[in-house]
Amino acid sequence: MRVISLVAGAFAALACSAVYAQSVDVSAAEALAKKSGCTKCHSVSAKKEGPSFKQTAEKYKGKPDAEAALFKHLTTNPKIKVDGKEELHDSPKTKNEAEIRNLIQYILSR
Amino acid sequence: MLGEWWTNLRTRCQTCSRVTLGAGVFVLALVVAGLLLTAGAAGLAWTNTEEFCTGCHEMRDNVYAEFKGSIHDKNRSGVRAICSNCHVPHEPVALIVRKMQASFEVWGHLTGKIDTKEKFAKHRYEMAVKEWTRMKRNGSQECRNCHHFDAMEPEKQTEKARARHEKAAAAGTPCIDCHFGIAHNEPDGPGPQELPEFQKMKAVKQ
């Protein structure tokens, strides 16, 4: 019975992650990232001034508070350090929370 | 051989003086050279047009489709940078070298190396690396043909852009190190700052 529950749980998790992956609107996220100037400092996989989306996804892999942490980072203009100098991190150019969350899911799914 | 040809010419036109004949040959040579140069220049100019570059579906359906709507295609001032502005050197020797290389790339078209979306995606990274390498070696000359550090007005840039540009100008960083994937989709993999060839050069400099 325990084995069956485990297998069922695993299938459910797999199904959820598939739905989760499908739910990301990649082109909308890429368009918002471009419009907001994110790609000036962040690349999907290559080195730029800021960490790549892949590095961010790796950093938050398996962390349940990943979305909340990134939402805070993207919406509160926190201070960041670039070349030893402090500057404010920009926010996405939208007031639509769903669009920001889609961008976060896009980053986390890289 | 040339002497034989000259003797033959003089025999055929015995009434012509040596000077007249020589001048005639010189003028004819100039006309032929002029025609060849004009045809060559016209050919080179033709291969630099947007129509030529997008003549094959490999370019039209992939990189050109991605370029459409980008800042270099459409912007508030209406100034456009077409394929050749960024991918073909303006300097005569470098231009000929690049055209020769490009003629070998036609082989890829003929053999269907990137004739489907999947094949293009498979080779996108290696193609990008080739172009990044070229643009790093020449200090992103094609970018700097239009964008001059000296002509920039830093006070009109954002604080962040100003800081990055000041740092890049001081270090001689090629534009492509940061401004990649702006007209075409970014390939998956290490970027221009991480290319092994330049990592070694950086290590030697340090």
Q: What does the pLDDT look like over B60-94, one tens digit per residue? A: 999 999 999 999 999 999 999 999 999 999 999 99
The predicted model gives B47-53 an average pLDDT of 96
Contact yes or no for A43 and B191 at CB 8 A = yes
Average pLDDT of the residues of chain A: 86
Is any Cβ of chain A less than 8 angstroms from the Cβ of B163?
Answer: yes
Neighbours of A46 (CB within 10 A): 22
The predicted model gives B122-132 an average pLDDT of 96
The predicted model gives B131-157 an average pLDDT of 95
Contact yes or no for B167 and A47 at CB 8 A = no
CA distance B52 to B48: 7
Question: Distance, in angstroms, between A34 CA and closest chain B CA?
Answer: 9
- Percent of chain B scored above 70 by pLDDT? 97
B interface test, pick of A26, A47, A53, A79 with most B CB neighbours within 10 Å: A47
pLDDT band at B204 (very low <50, low <70, confident <90, very high): low
Residue of B nearest to A34 (CA): B182
In sequence order, which residues have a C-beta less than 8 Å from that of residue A85 and are 6 or more positions away? B163
pLDDT band at B9 (very low <50, low <70, confident <90, very high): confident
Question: Distance, in angstroms, between B193 CA and closest chain A CA?
Answer: 6
B interface test, pick of A27, A30, A45 with most B CB neighbours within 10 Å: A45
Let me know the angle formed at the C-alpha of B90 by B87 and B96, rounded to the nearest 5 degrees: 85
* 3-class secondary structure, A88: strand
CA distance B168 to B149: 9
CA distance B61 to B206: 43
Question: Distance, in angstroms, between B108 CA and closest chain A CA?
Answer: 27
Average pLDDT of the residues of chain B: 93
pLDDT band at B1 (very low <50, low <70, confident <90, very high): confident
Higher-confidence residue of B191 and B12: namely B191
Question: Distance, in angstroms, between B111 CA and closest chain A CA?
Answer: 31
The predicted model gives B150-178 an average pLDDT of 94
Q: How many CB pairs under 8 A join A and B?
A: 42
Q: Does B127 score more than 50 pLDDT? A: yes
Is any Cβ of chain A less than 8 angstroms from the Cβ of B160?
Answer: yes
Higher-confidence residue of B203 and B140: namely B140
pLDDT at A86: 92
pLDDT at A19: 45
Which residues in B lie closer than 8 A to residue A45 (C-beta atoms)? 186, 188-191
How far, CA to CA in Å, does B114 sit from each of B66, B107, B136? 16, 11, 25
Is any Cβ of chain B less than 8 angstroms from the Cβ of A31?
Answer: no
pLDDT at A15: 47
Higher-confidence residue of B135 and B9: namely B135
pLDDT at A10: 52
Residue ranges in chain A whose pLDDT is less than 70: 1-22
Residue of B nearest to A86 (CA): B160
- Per-residue burial over B69-83, b if 16 or more Cβ lie within 10 Å, else e, is eeebeeeeeeeebbb
Q: Which one, of B29, B68, B25, lies nearest residue B183 by Cα?
A: B68
Contact yes or no for A45 and B161 at CB 8 A = no
Is any Cβ of chain B less than 8 angstroms from the Cβ of A39?
Answer: yes
